[in-house]
């Protein structure tokens, strides 16, 4: 026996995380060996690490399809198809962000190895977050993810807005972690264990209605709602999005959302399933508020990063609708969330890639007017942006349509007609504000003809994002099968 505590297979199960940690640390040291003009090699090293992790995750997938979840480290770490798919999305999103960052950081004059190391370590936190099935593991993973994000938000040290955003993010994040921890401690008090499955058993045994489990659930959910930027815990989102370096805005609008949603689903299904009637009511209220505020506030924004902040909030509202359906035991609800997250990651990163290209030495390029006349300056980029915006608005044949379609379908299957109608109405509002950017690109005059900051990294990122956005939209079948397989562990 290798040791008395854990199986050897436990260590194989966390191999992608271990690899990413090692590469993150390697980037830290590798940075010292590089000349200033060779700093892009940091990004290359980070990409190699992400590639290894992705390959390893790809090898896990066929082993887990149709099988029982693997439970390691004394039941604190679960590896199932759901976790593997979420981790794959996280790794891919991080890789795209690394590609986006190379040129951008050079222009900002902040091209340091720490940036990539923090990105990788944040990804490690997210990967443990989607696999954790124990409150302690989940909390540590969440903090690892969040702490790296705070530092990355303030990475432009001489930029006031970046610093302000980081401090705001840190203070509010610390507060929300406190709420989350309060809920967790109550759950531990109820369950007598930090394991999600045991908590679910104890919750089921309690009489209903039970004020203690109500308080535990509400505080826990309030903490999670903050992390996913749901109303009324969304206030940090536009400020942080605006202040953070654009590449980091792209990162925190995608990867932590995927991880937090996976964590949210696991907590709700694995631990709070006995209280599904209660959290369904809460989720309905929050999703209506989130969709309303996100969609209506986005209309008036002039800064494109704030704009995407509110657009993210509205997407979170749609994602929460999938949970409403899932509370009725509808599998399609969770399938819809998984597909939506996959689609959302690529279309949002694609849109941010176009915004990043606007950054120049003398121009921040984050106002909607900075995109004016893009069709005349760079027709290719304008067309790509159009595809991403159509996808974000949910127009076929792009991927965004598939995501929204499954959400609406699950709502109708479970009889939440009024929610489905409301969501469709807001999709129309979304189309209006996304087309404000299209109008600026196609119908306004370009202010100048200075060439744009493209580079090999951004080109590859744009290529991957547009390919996935169109592929999922035109031929969704394999991705739907994957999503169905991913949610199977929750219903067996």
Partner 1 sequence: MLNQYGPIVIFAVIAAAFPVALLWLAKFVRPSFKPTPEKVMPYECGITPESDARGRYTVRFYVIAILFVIFDVETVYLYPWAVQYQALGLFGLVEMLVFLGILIIGYIWLWKRGALEWI
Q: Strand pairing partners for 340? A: none
| Least distance (Å) between residue 46 CB and partner 1 | 16
Indicate the residue among 110 and 385 with the shorter CB distance to partner 1.
Answer: 110
Best CA proximity match to 117, nearest among 254, 240, 52, 20? 20
Per the structure block, which two tokens stand in for 332? Answer: 């399609």
Find tokens 């990539």 and name the residue: 116
Whichever of 6 and 475 has its CB closer to partner 1, that residue is 6
Q: Which is nearer to partner 1, 7 or 276 (CB)?
A: 7
Q: Which is nearer to partner 1, 2 or 62 (CB)?
A: 2
Nearest distance from C-beta of residue 26 to partner 1, angstroms = 9
Closest CB 28 distance from partner 1, rounded Å? 5
Tokens of 19: 């690899």
Minimum Å distance from CB 123 to partner 1?
Answer: 16
Residue 116 Cα to chain centre, angstroms: 18
Q: Least distance (Å) from partner 1 to the CB of residue 483?
A: 36
Q: Which is nearer to partner 1, 25 or 63 (CB)?
A: 25
Name the DSSP class of 446. Answer: P
- Compute the least distance from the CB of residue 30 to partner 1, in Å: 11
Closest separation between CB of residue 153 and partner 1, Å? 19
What percent of the chain is helix, strand and coil (3-state, nearest 5)?
Answer: 80, 0, 20
Q: Which ranges constitute the DSSP H helices of 132-195?
A: 135-153, 160-191
Burial class (CB in 10 A: 0-12, 13-18, 19+), 2: exposed
Coil, helix or strand at residue 98:
helix
- Closer CB to partner 1, residue 25 or residue 215? 25
Find, among 89, 73, 15, 132, the residue nearest to 486 by Cα. Answer: 89
Cα 490 to Cα 11, 222, 304, 487, distances in angstroms: 24, 23, 38, 6
User: Of the two residues 31 and 278, which places its CB atom closer to partner 1 in the complex?
Assistant: 31
Q: By the criterion CB under 8 A, which residues form the site for partner 1? A: 2-5, 21, 25, 28-29, 32
């Amino acid at each position: 026996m290798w040791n008395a505590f854990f199986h050897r297979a436990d260590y194989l199960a966390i191999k992608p995380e271990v690899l990413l940690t090692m590469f993150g640390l390697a980037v830290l040291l590798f940075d010292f060996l590089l000349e200033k003009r060779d700093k892009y090699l940091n990004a290359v090293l980070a990409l190699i690490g992400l590639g290894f992790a992705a390959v390893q995750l790809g090898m896990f997938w066929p082993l887990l399809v149709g099988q029982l979840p693997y439970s390691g480290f004394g039941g604190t770490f679960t590896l199932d198809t759901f976790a593997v798919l979420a981790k794959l999305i996280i790794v891919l999103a991080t890789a795209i962000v690394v590609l986006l960052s190379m040129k951008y950081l050079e222009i900002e004059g902040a091209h340091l190895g720490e940036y990539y190391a923090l990105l990788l370590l944040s990804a490690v936190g997210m990967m443990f977050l989607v696999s954790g099935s124990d409150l302690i593991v989940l909390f540590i993973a969440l903090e690892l993810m969040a702490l790296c994000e705070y530092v990355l938000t303030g990475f432009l040290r001489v930029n006031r807005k970046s610093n302000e955003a980081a401090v705001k993010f840190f203070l509010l994040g610390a507060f929300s972690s406190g709420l989350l921890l309060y809920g967790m401690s109550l759950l531990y008090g109820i369950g007598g264990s930090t394991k999600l499955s045991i908590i679910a058993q104890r919750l089921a045994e309690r009489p209903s209605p039970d004020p203690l489990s109500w308080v535990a659930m509400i505080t826990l959910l309030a903490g999670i709602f903050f992390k996913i930027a749901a109303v009324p815990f969304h206030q940090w989102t536009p400020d942080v999005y605006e202040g953070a370096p654009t590449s980091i805005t792209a990162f925190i609008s995608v990867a932590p959302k995927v991880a937090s949603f996976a964590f949210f689903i696991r907590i709700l299904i694995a631990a709070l399933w006995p209280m599904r009637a209660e959290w369904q009511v809460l989720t309905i209220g929050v999703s209506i508020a989130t969709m309303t505020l996100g969609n209506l506030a986005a209309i008036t924004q002039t800064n494109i990063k704030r704009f995407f902040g509110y657009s993210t909030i509205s997407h979170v509202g749609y994602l929460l609708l999938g949970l409403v359906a899932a509370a009725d035991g509808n599998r399609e609800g969770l399938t819809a969330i998984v597909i939506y997250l996959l689609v959302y990651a690529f279309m949002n990163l694609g849109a941010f890639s176009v915004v990043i290209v606007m950054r120049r030495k003398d121009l921040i390029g984050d106002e909607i007017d900075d995109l004016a006349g893009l069709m005349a300056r760079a027709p290719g980029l304008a067309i790509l942006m159009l595809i991403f915006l159509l996808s974000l608005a949910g127009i076929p044949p792009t991927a965004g349509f598939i995501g929204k379609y499954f959400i609406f379908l699950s709502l109708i299957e479970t009889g939440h007609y009024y929610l489905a109608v409301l969501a469709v109405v807001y999709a129309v509002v979304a189309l209006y504000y996304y087309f404000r950017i299209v109008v600026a690109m196609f119908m306004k005059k370009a202010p100048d003809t200075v060439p744009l900051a493209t580079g090999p990294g951004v080109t590859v990122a744009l290529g991957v994002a547009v390919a996935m956005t169109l592929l999922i939209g035109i031929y969704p079948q394999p991705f739907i099968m994957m999503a169905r397989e991913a949610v199977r562990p929750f219903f067996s």
